[in-house]
Amino acid sequence: MKDLRRWLYPLLLAVLLLPPMVQTSAQGEKQSQGALRGFQVNSQRLQQTLDKLSEFGRNPEGGVTRLGFSEADMAAREYVMGLMRQAGLAVRVDPAGNIFGRRPGTENLPVLLFGSHIDSVPHGGNFDGDVGSLGALEVMRALNEHKVATRHPLEMVVWSNEEGHHFGKGLFGSGAAAGVLGPGILERRDEQGVSLADWLRRYGQDPARFTEARIRPGSVAGYLELHIEQGAVLEETRIPIGVVQGIVGINWWTCVATGFANHAGTTPMNRRQDALAAAARAVLAVREEVRAEPSRQVGTVGYMRVEPGARNIIPGRVEFPVELRDLEAAKVERIWARIRERFATIAREENVEIECVPLAADQPARTDPVFQQAIREAAQAAGLATRDLPSGAGHDAQNASRFAPMGMIFVPSRGGISHSPREFTPPEEVANGVEVLYRSVLLLDAGLKRTEGGIAGAN
């Protein structure tokens, strides 16, 4: 008895004194273990399709390289469209290559839309976009299985070319749907010289009808997207569901430093026009100016193309991109203005030219409070804790916000890793997100009219 007291009392005391975060984590663990009980969606059925999808464009590291508008993407789309038809959805592809699958509603109401993308970055993983796309399909299957009728027609969507690697324009399909892309974009070419217009033809579309992909505001009651967090907040706090508050804007420029390629042995140090030395200083200037203000804005130079690119030639030309992201468009403009000043100084001092052209500007977007609340209530009903957080990654949802209220659900990313073959979310955590998507769709469909902090209705 005395022995028992010797370890039991300190144990009880330790439990009572546990800091709140640890208690939350224990609770989170219990929730995610017990989560599969009472779920409407089928985790196993979903995982089978996710596994199969990851075969399209598989890279040697175990992830995928499935660039938007590529052979691998085209094959993956066929696979997903087949699954959609099997689920009884009426499938159509719009002139921008977006895939829609419709399930009728019982009333004459605008569509409730949900989905994501299946294209990837080079050397990408198996979760970014795939989870939200096949999660949307699983929601449709579960509704069928449980014979649930909805008031609104439901549509799942697989947006085309979300990552935009080889055309310098991400959020492509949703951008067309939001009406923010002119047909001029179709002249852009990939590394093989194939234009976007040609790719649309290969996808069975008529590029002349590109602008018809636009979705009129009012024709969609709302948009929901489930996605992996791609950061470590949920994992570190052990919270299974993230309620996204807003999505960052993403601005891309392509810059070229032009110097003079000359002999590396005979050109004195003070007579050089070294484009790479200038570009190297430009990279550091980007970092310094982004860090010069407090808060979460980020700036990246993701590559350099150096010409001619030999050990014994002073580099004459360097191409490098600048990417800036923040939730506030005005802050990005301010930082970019300072970066331009720094580039001008560097160019003068290094005796080179630095020119930058804007390539893409995706606006930041806030999620709709009604949708946030629906997601919180859906998670609570599924026994899952939530946490509000911003998205540092871009998503098609930010374009959808131009034609409908929107919300986003996040599930944890192992180690916060994404845009990498090592991207991972365990099946049960994926299922948590899909269950919350399922329940959010139904809550928004019912359009519960509650005033104080509740759902006010989706349309």
Note whether 390 binds Mn ion by CB under 5 A: no
Structural tokens at position 142? 């579960």
Q: Which is nearer to ligand HGY, 43 or 174 (CB)?
A: 174
Interaction partner, residue 170 (ligand HGY, Mn ion, none; CB < 5-8 Å by kind): ligand HGY
State whether residue 389 is helix, strand or coil: strand
Note whether 235 binds Mn ion by CB under 5 A: no
CA 333 to chain centre: 22
DSSP code of 219? S
Q: What share of the chain is helix, strand, coil (3-state, %, to 5)?
A: 40, 20, 40
Note whether 119 binds ligand HGY by CB under 6 A: no
Note whether 175 binds ligand HGY by CB under 6 A: no
Smallest distance, ligand HGY to C-beta of residue 285, A: 22
Smallest distance, ligand HGY to C-beta of residue 36, A: 28
Residues 389-418 within binding reach of ligand HGY (CB under 6 A): 393-394
Structural tokens at position 309? 């690119």
Binding window for ligand HGY (CB under 6 A); candidates: 162-170, 204-212, 259-267, 428-436: 162-170
Structural tokens at position 3? 């022995």
Note whether 130 binds ligand HGY by CB under 6 A: no
Radius of gyration over alpha carbons of the chain, in Å?
Answer: 25
E-strand ranges in 133-259 read 154-159, 220-228, 241-247, 249-258
Interaction partner, residue 394 (Mn ion, ligand HGY, none; CB < 5-8 Å by kind): ligand HGY
Q: Which is nearer to ligand HGY, 169 or 402 (CB)?
A: 169
| Residues 363, 332 contacting (CB under 8 angstroms) | no
Note whether 163 binds ligand HGY by CB under 6 A: yes
State which amino acid sits at residue 88.
Answer: G
Phi and psi at residue 149, to the nearest 5°: -100, 140
Rule CB under 5 A: choose which of 57, 101, 129, 246 binds Mn ion. 129
> Minimal CA–CA distance to 228: which of 31, 27, 50, 102?
50
The length of the chain in residues reads 459
Phi and psi at residue 277, to the nearest 5°: -60, -40
Q: Which is nearer to Mn ion, 125 or 447 (CB)?
A: 125
Rule CB under 6 A: choose which of 73, 155, 162, 225 binds ligand HGY. 162
Note whether 73 binds Mn ion by CB under 5 A: no
Residues at the interface with ligand HGY (CB under 6 A): 162-163, 170, 393-394
Query: Binding residues for Mn ion, per CB under 5 A?
Result: 128-129
